[in-house]
Chains A and B, each alone.
Chain A
Amino acid sequence: MKLLRLRKLHRWVALVVGLQVLVWTASGLAFAWLDHHEVTGEALAAAPKPLSLPTDTGVLDPGRLPIAKETATVRSLELRQVDEAWVYRIETLDGRVSLLRASDGTPFVIDAAAARRIAGRHYRGTGRLQEVRPQPAATNETRGLGASWQASYDDEFGTRLYFSTDDGALLAVRTDAWRLKDFFWMLHTMDYRGRDDFNNPLVMTAGAAAVWVGLTGVWLLLRVFGRRSVTEPVRSRDVPRS
Chain B
Amino acid sequence: MLSPRIARLGHRWLALLVGWQLAIWSLSGLYMVVVDLDFIHGDSLVRNVAPPLRLDDRLAPLGAIRAGRDDVQAIRLRALPDRDQLVYEVTRASRLELFDARTGRLLPALDEARARALAQSHYAGRGSIAGAQLLTRASDLPDEIRGRRPPVWRVDFDDWTATSLYLDPATGRLVTRRHRFWRWFDFLWSLHIMDYVEREDVNNPLLRIATPLAFVTAAFGGWLAFHSFGFLQRRRRRDGGAA
Contact = CB atoms under 8 A, between A and B. Distances in A.
Interface of A: 11, 14-15, 18-19, 21-22, 24-26, 28-29, 31-36, 50-55, 59, 61-63, 65, 67-68, 71-81, 93, 189, 198-200, 203-204, 207-208, 210-211, 213-215, 217-218, 221, 224-225
B29 interface: yes
Contacts of A67: 55
Contact of B37 (A28, A55, A199, A207): A199
Interface stretch (B20-28, B122-130, B152-160, B231-239): B20-28
Contacts of A22: 215, 218-219, 222
B1 interface: no
Given A28-B211, A52-B93, A18 B55 contact: no
A78 B88 CA distance: 9
A62 B12 contact: no
Nearest to B20: A218
B219 to A, nearest CB: 6
A91 to B, nearest CB: 10
B1 to A, nearest CB: 19
A32 B75 contact: no
Nearest to B224: A11
Contacts, number: 176
Contact of A207 (B34, B57, B208, B225): B34
B55 A74 contact: yes
A214 B222 contact: no
B19 to A, nearest CB: 5
Given A207-B29, A214-B26, A218-B19, A25 B74 contact: no
Interface of B: 12, 15-16, 19-20, 22-23, 25-27, 29-30, 32-37, 50, 52-59, 61-63, 66-78, 91, 93, 201-204, 207-208, 210-212, 214-215, 217-219, 221-222, 225, 228-229
Given A55-B66, A78-B75, 6 more contacts: A33-B211, A63-B57, A71-B55, A189-B33, A204-B30, A207-B26
A7 to B, nearest CB: 10
Contacts of B54: 72-73
Given A52-B70, A199-B36, A36 B201 contact: yes
Contacts of B37: 198-199
B227 to A, nearest CB: 11
Contacts of A62: 55, 59, 62, 77
Contact of A14 (B34, B55, B63, B225): B225
A79 B74 CA distance: 5
A203 B74 CA distance: 44
Nearest to A69: B55
A18 B222 contact: yes
A76 B53 contact: yes
Given A11-B228, A25-B218, A78-B74, A61 B203 contact: no
A79 B63 CA distance: 13
A78 B76 contact: yes
A59 B34 contact: no
A63 B59 contact: yes
A19 B222 contact: yes
B71 A52 contact: yes
A82 to B, nearest CB: 11
Across the A-B interface, give the 7 residue pairs with the lowest CB-CB distance, nearest first. A29-B211, A68-B55, A73-B52, A25-B215, A207-B30, A214-B23, A80-B74
Contact of B15 (A11, A55, A215, A221): A221
A225 B16 contact: yes
B225 A11 contact: yes
Given A18-B222, A25-B211, A52-B93, A77 B77 contact: yes
B70 A217 contact: no
